[in-house]
Amino acid sequence: MNGVVKAVHRSALHTMKKYEQPSIQLLAGLGVEGDAHMGVTVKHRSRVAVNPNQPNLRQVHLIHSELHDELCAKGFTVGAGEMGENITTRGIDLLRLPMGTHLYLGAQVVVEITGLRNPCVQLNGIQEGLMAAVLDRDEQGNLIRKAGVMGVVLIGGEVRSHDMIRVELPPEPHQSLDRV
Distance CA 42, CA 52 (A): 6
pTM above 0.85, yes or no: yes
C-alpha 124: how far from chain center: 18
Q: How many whole angstroms separate alpha carbon 19 and alpha carbon 10?
A: 5
Per-position pLDDT tens, the chain of length 180: 799 999 999 999 998 899 999 999 999 999 999 999 999 999 987 888 889 899 999 999 999 999 999 999 999 999 999 999 999 999 999 999 999 999 999 999 999 999 999 998 889 999 999 999 999 999 999 999 999 999 999 999 999 999 999 999 999 999 999 999
Q: How far from 125 is each of 61, 121, 129, 148, 151, CA to CA, in Å?
A: 19, 8, 9, 18, 25
Q: What does DSSP say about strands 87-90 and 60-64: parallel, antiparallel, or unpaired?
A: parallel
What gap in Å lies between CA 148 and CA 10, rounded to an integer? Answer: 16
Write down all domains in the chain, each with its CATH number in brackets. Answer: 2-168 (2.40.33.20)
